């Protein structure tokens, strides 16, 4: 990878991170200052899965606090994770670490969910809420694609035009997010419009996660290193952890999801770094 691309990448990650931290801080301030509650959105989609409500309720004030806490957890994790892996990435030039950094970067777009509270409260056009929902869906698809591509490099994929690859992943993620039908008359408890095809959405995410795990196990066999099998489990932790936090509207899913993200990230990075550097 060229030094120029590396500098542009690290600067871009820093800029995007800082922008979304400011965006989240301003959005959270407005929501509390103006006392905007989730019930301004109208009817929530029913029924809400029970696992989302462990130790929680759909009372508007509680929902606001827990949803903001979940978003803050994702942003804080993403900042610390990328700061922690940046130096290691420079030492290994590992594509696996590059795409884990991009996975963490995708977590920042969860902050856009606040827009659906603020736009509705100010009576702004409905299409803005549609844009917010699709941006967040894009971030989730893009994050999964990053995990999948990381596993492909573990299997020894040689393609080095990273900018082209990342651009292609972004187009694919936007396409997947754009074709999903939305029910704009109902909201999820996470402030996004209700998906019209929840089963299709679940199936696509499940397939991407399964392919990622399979690729890492194949890499463990081809490269004769159990570290890639451990990385497969760590990648699964990252997937499940994000799912729990992004859908968590109660303390328990958020705490468990954040713990899985941290453990998965630490294990994944350690396995990759030890394999390449022999530390």
Give dist(CA 153, CA 232) in Å, integer: 13
Confidence of residue 79 (pLDDT cuts 50, 70, 90): very high
Give dist(CA 182, CA 87) in Å, integer: 41
The sign of the CA dihedral 77, 172, 195, 48 is negative
At 132 the pLDDT is 95
36 pLDDT exceeds 80? yes
Output the average pLDDT for the chain.
88
Which residue would you say has higher pLDDT here, 5 or 272? 272
Q: What is the mean pLDDT of residues 185-209?
A: 88
% of the chain at pLDDT higher than 70: 92
Q: What is the mean pLDDT of residues 12-31?
A: 92
Confidence of residue 4 (pLDDT cuts 50, 70, 90): low
Give dist(CA 255, CA 241) in Å, integer: 9
At 126-145, the pLDDT tens digits run 899 999 999 999 999 999 99
At 230-266, the pLDDT tens digits run 999 999 999 999 999 998 888 999 999 999 999 999 9
Q: What is the mean pLDDT of residues 74-91?
A: 85
At 107 the pLDDT is 96
Which residue would you say has higher pLDDT here, 184 or 230? 230
45 pLDDT exceeds 60? no
Strands (E), 42-129: none
CB-CB neighbours of 166 under 10 Å: 18
**CATH numbers and ranges of domains, the chain:** 3-277 (1.20.1070)
Give dist(CA 247, CA 230) in Å, integer: 26
pTM, two decimal places:
0.92
Confidence of residue 189 (pLDDT cuts 50, 70, 90): confident
At 274 the pLDDT is 85
Helices 227-247 and 60-92: crossing angle in degrees, nearest 10, is 150
183, β-bridge pairs: 194
């Amino acid at each position: 990878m060229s030094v120029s691309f590396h500098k542009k990448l690290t600067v871009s990650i820093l800029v995007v991170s800082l922008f979304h931290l400011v965006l989240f801080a301003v959005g959270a301030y407005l929501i509390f200052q103006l006392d905007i509650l989730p019930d301004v959105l109208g009817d929530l989609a029913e029924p809400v899965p029970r696992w989302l409500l462990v130790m929680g309720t759909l009372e508007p004030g509680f929902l606001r606090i827990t949803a903001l806490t979940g978003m803050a957890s994702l942003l804080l994790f993403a900042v610390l994770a990328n700061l922690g892996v940046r130096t290691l990435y420079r030492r290994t030039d590992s594509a696996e670490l590059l795409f884990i950094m991009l996975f963490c970067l995708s977590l920042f777009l969860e902050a856009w969910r606040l827009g659906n509270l603020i736009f509705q409260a100010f009576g702004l056009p409905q299409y803005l809420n549609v844009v917010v929902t699709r941006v967040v869906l894009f971030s989730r698809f893009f994050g999964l694609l990053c995990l999948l591509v990381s596993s492909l490099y573990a299997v020894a994929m040689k393609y080095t035009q990273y900018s082209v690859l990342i651009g292609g992943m972004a187009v694919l993620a936007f396409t997947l997010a754009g074709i999903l039908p939305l029910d704009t008359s109902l909201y999820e408890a996470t402030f996004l419009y209700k998906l019209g095809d929840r089963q299709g959405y679940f199936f696509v995410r499940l397939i991407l996660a399964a392919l990622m795990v399979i690729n890492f196990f194949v890499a463990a066999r081809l490269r004769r290193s159990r570290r890639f099998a451990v990385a497969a489990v760590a990648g699964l932790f990252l997937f499940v952890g994000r799912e729990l936090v992004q859908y968590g509207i109660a303390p328990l899913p958020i705490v468990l999801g954040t713990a899985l993200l941290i453990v998965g990230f630490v294990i994944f990075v350690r396995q990759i770094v030890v394999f390449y550097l022999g530390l």
